[in-house]
């Protein structure tokens, strides 16, 4: 299959100042940004109450287990849809949400970390088992796939607070994902997951002169290097 680079290469931008107008503050729905953290505190208070019933104890534990699970981030994906004010998609494979006004799909990568860890350098993974996934052939019909957004949200593992949220255009990853996919196949890697992080996405956004958006929790200001 012939590969088509739908996006401009680095050489096309040799004379452009990548840093001008590339970075913009992200508007988030403040009503929903702290919901999960507040719910976690509420349920932790329940568990600290010696007078609760066994059922209350179980329910509170179930909720906290869902928030802290290393196997699933579904709760945070649904909350990010509310933070962005868009429609959540509950299907197992495909996009995680869609901005129905602009018909722009979203892929969310919420990532739980211990406080003070390397928020910008921590790897998030995209499962690229086959080339069709990279070519946007999953859940494609009805969506403006080439305007898709890729969101990394860093979460404090101890409190369930959002530390920072970054929104990129998914197309910045396109050629790099293809390159790394074929490298993995040459190494005969079985189940391949493409690794990226906030720092890498920022650099790719600059390379392609593609605007990206950020939100930083002011509570973590001293721990976030901008």
CA 171 to CA 147: how far, in whole Å?
8
- How many other CB atoms are found less than 10 A from the CB of residue 113? 15
Nearest to 160 by CA among 86, 107, 215, 217: 217
How confident is the model at residue 19, as a pLDDT? 53
3-state secondary structure of 193: strand
The whole-number pLDDT of residue 216 equals 96
Judged against a pLDDT cut of 50, whether residue 159 lies above it is answered with: yes
Q: Pairing relation of β-strands 104-113 and 97-99?
A: antiparallel
Lowest average pLDDT, out of 36-45, 88-97, 170-179, goes to 88-97
**Which tokens is 100 given?**
């129905």
Strands of 20-169 (E only): list them.
23-25, 87-88, 97-99, 104-113, 124-127, 149-156, 162-169
Location of structure tokens 């921590």:
122
Percent with pLDDT over 70 in the chain: 88
| Confidence category of residue 45, pLDDT binned at 50, 70, 90 | very high
Please give the Cα distance from 96 to 111 (Å, whole number). Answer: 15
Phi, then psi, of 53 in degrees rounded to 5: -80, 165
139 pLDDT band, cuts 50/70/90, is: low
Q: How many CA within 13 A on the CB side of residue 222?
A: 2
- The pLDDT value given to residue 21: 72
Question: Is residue 169 within 8 Å of 148, Cβ to Cβ?
Answer: yes
Average pLDDT over residues 138-154: 85
Query: Percentage of the chain with pLDDT > 90?
Result: 63
Q: What predicted TM-score, i.e. pTM, was given to this entire model?
A: 0.86
Average pLDDT, the chain: 86
Q: What is the pLDDT of residue 17?
A: 43
Residue 149, helix vs strand vs coil: strand
Least confident stretch, 137-151, 185-199, 200-214 = 137-151
Tell me how long the chain is. Answer: 226
């Amino acid at each position: 299959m012939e590969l088509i680079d739908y996006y401009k290469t680095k050489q096309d931008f040799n004379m452009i100042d990548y840093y001008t107008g590339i970075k913009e503050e992200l508007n988030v729905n403040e009503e929903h940004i702290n919901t999960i953290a507040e719910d976690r505190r509420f349920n932790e208070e329940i568990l600290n109450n010696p007078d609760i019933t066994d059922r209350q104890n179980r329910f509170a534990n179930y909720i906290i287990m869902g928030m802290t699970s290393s196997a699933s981030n579904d709760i945070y994906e649904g909350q990010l849809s509310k933070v962005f004010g868009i429609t959540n998609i509950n299907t197992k494979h495909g996009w995680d949400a869609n901005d129905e006004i602009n018909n722009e799909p979203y892929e969310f990568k919420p990532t739980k970390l211990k406080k003070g860890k390397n928020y910008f350098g921590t790897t998030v993974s995209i499962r690229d088992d086959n080339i069709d996934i990279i070519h946007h052939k999953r859940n494609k019909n009805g969506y403006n796939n080439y305007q898709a957004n890729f969101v990394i949200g860093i979460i404090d593992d101890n409190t369930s607070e959002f530390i920072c949220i970054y929104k990129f255009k998914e197309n910045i990853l396109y050629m790099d994902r293809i390159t790394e996919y074929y490298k993995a196949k040459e190494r005969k890697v079985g189940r391949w997951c493409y690794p990226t992080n906030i720092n890498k996405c920022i650099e790719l956004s600059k390379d392609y002169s593609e605007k990206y958006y950020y939100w930083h929790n002011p509570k973590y200001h001293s721990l976030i290097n901008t």
